[in-house]
């Protein structure tokens, strides 16, 4: 009986992580399948290649049409959809732009910069060129 204990314990130690990994993988596959079947036109998604797009048509079972720019619609396999992207609320966008403006003002104080104006009338800060020591 003592001679069988060590091999059984070894098999148990190897089998438990294998079983747990299989369960986790099945859950992930089920979640991905549910995501791909629940997509509706107008949803923002990200593909496995990192492309952000809006779902345009979901009528086919194996493919999905994505609008990647205004008027540009491409056809993809449903399996290429990695995740649904929640659109950011406008309040968060306003907060982040204010933070960016504040950090830009702080950096403008630290670095000597010149202002330039482009054709649209917007002003950009351009840093002085670095001097390289020879």
72 DSSP β-pair partners: 69
For residue 96, pLDDT over 60 is answered with no
Kindly state whether residue 83 falls inside one of the protein's structural domains. Answer: no
Kindly state whether residue 81 falls inside one of the protein's structural domains. Answer: no
Amino acid 84: pLDDT: 93
Kindly state whether residue 27 falls inside one of the protein's structural domains. Answer: yes
- State the total domains in the chain: 2
Domain containing 107 equals 90-127
Amino acid 3: pLDDT: 79
Kindly state whether residue 80 falls inside one of the protein's structural domains. Answer: no
| Structure confidence at residue 111 as a pLDDT band (50, 70, 90) | very low
Q: How far apart are CA 3 and CA 80, in angstroms?
A: 51
Kindly state whether residue 30 falls inside one of the protein's structural domains. Answer: yes
Instruction: Summarize pLDDT for 14-70 with one digit per residue, the tens.
Output: 998 899 999 999 999 999 999 988 999 999 999 999 999 999 999 988 999 999 999
Question: Cα torsion at 9, 11, 12, 17 (round to 10°)?
Answer: 140
Kindly state whether residue 54 falls inside one of the protein's structural domains. Answer: no
Kindly state whether residue 78 falls inside one of the protein's structural domains. Answer: no
Q: 82: helix, coil or strand?
A: strand
Look at 37-41, 82-86, 122-126 and tell me which has the smallest mean pLDDT. 122-126
Kindly state whether residue 66 falls inside one of the protein's structural domains. Answer: no
Q: Chain-wide mean pLDDT for the chain?
A: 79
């Amino acid at each position: 009986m003592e001679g069988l204990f060590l091999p059984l314990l070894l098999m148990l130690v190897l089998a438990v992580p294998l079983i747990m990994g299989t369960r986790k993988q099945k859950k992930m596959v089920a979640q991905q399948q549910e995501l791909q079947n629940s997509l509706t036109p107008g949803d923002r998604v990200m593909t496995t290649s990192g492309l952000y797009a809006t779902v345009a048509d979901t009528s086919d079972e194996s493919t999905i049409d994505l609008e990647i720019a205004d008027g540009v619609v491409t056809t993809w396999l449903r399996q290429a959809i990695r995740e649904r992207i929640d659109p950011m609320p406008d309040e968060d966008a306003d907060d982040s732009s204010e933070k960016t403006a504040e950090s830009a003002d702080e950096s403008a104080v630290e670095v000597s910069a010149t202002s330039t104006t482009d054709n649209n009338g917007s002003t950009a800060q351009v840093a002085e060129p670095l001097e390289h020591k020879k």
